[in-house]
Amino acid sequence: MASQPHIELNDGRQMPQLGLGVWRTPADDAASVVATALDAGYLAVDTAAIYQNEEGVGKGVHGREVFLTTKLWNADQGYDETLRAFDVSAKRLGRDDVDLYLIHWPVPKKDRYVDTWRALVRLREEGRAKSIGVSNFMPEHLRRIVEETGVTPAVNQIELHPRFQQLDARRVHDEMGIRTESWSPLGQAQFLDDPTIKAIADKHAKSPAQAIIRWHLDSGLIVIPKSVNPDRIRQNLDVFDFELDAEDMAQIAKLDSPEGRIGPNPMTAGF
């Protein structure tokens, strides 16, 4: 396999650009799914407290070199609550520290994300979260935490795929020095049979999923496709021997749609 690309974060650390996502990976399967991915050569795994599979993920990564991300759940927002929730996640993962800790959603209605962010800053100072970031934050939430704490998140992980390309958010992230990470990068497999994607995949003798993953990589995004299937896990990593050309990128740009969102809207998602 060709060497895998890394992206430099605003704290100077390097993050693998491609990792395994484990949302909806059942707790009982998580250890073997993660071990399969690491054996195949994955360098990063992305989980969250709410996925309820941190323990299995911890078993799968045990003793292995991996860039591990987890996320703070909404119910645990608040300064002290966050510090406690981090301890619980770390214990479940069987580690003292994680590579990247994210606030999962801003939950603007609750208005606790600034205090929550202060707790993440402390966790980074203590070295327990080597890098810190957010997920599903809109530009106004990003600006507010930077204004109030002076600390810019390393990453904002947002819904992003060819049907929902988030150009405005990506522009703001670039201006602020925040890396964009794509969740549901394959659109939850809902448009793998799209004729544009299929034609590009065929042209490169790759699968539609591989073409989409390559689009994220060639767009400078961090990408975490989820699969529980060993063949598809390996397939999703086999993307370092081709690149999309300008025409492919222009074709995929046309698939973007304001109606393309699959998941919740971060402004109203209250949980």
CB of 198 to ligand A2P, least distance (A): 12
Contact 153, 132 (CB under 8 A): yes
Q: Does 207 bind ligand A2P (CB under 6 A)?
A: yes
Contact 183, 157 (CB under 8 A): yes
Toward ligand A2P, which CB reaches closer, 15 or 37?
37
Q: In whole angstroms, what is the distance from residue 163 CA to residue 160 CA?
A: 8
CA distances from 167 to 206, 219, 240, 264 (A): 26, 11, 25, 18
Structure tokens at 75: 């119910």
CB of 170 to ligand A2P, least distance (A): 18
Q: Does 188 bind ligand A2P (CB under 6 A)?
A: yes
Structure tokens at 182: 């794509």
CB of 54 to ligand A2P, least distance (A): 18
Footprint (CB under 6 A) of ligand A2P, residues 208-237:
209, 225-229, 232, 235-236
Q: 263 forms bridges with which residues in the sheet? A: none
Q: Does 135 bind ligand A2P (CB under 6 A)?
A: no
Residue type, 24: R
Q: Does 156 bind ligand A2P (CB under 6 A)?
A: no
Reply yes or no on whether 113 is catalytic. no
Q: In whole angstroms, what is the distance from residue 66 CA to residue 41 CA?
A: 10
Toward ligand A2P, which CB reaches closer, 20 or 129?
20
Residues that bind ligand A2P (CB under 6 A): 21, 184-189, 192, 207, 209, 225-229, 232, 235-236
Residues classed as catalytic: 51
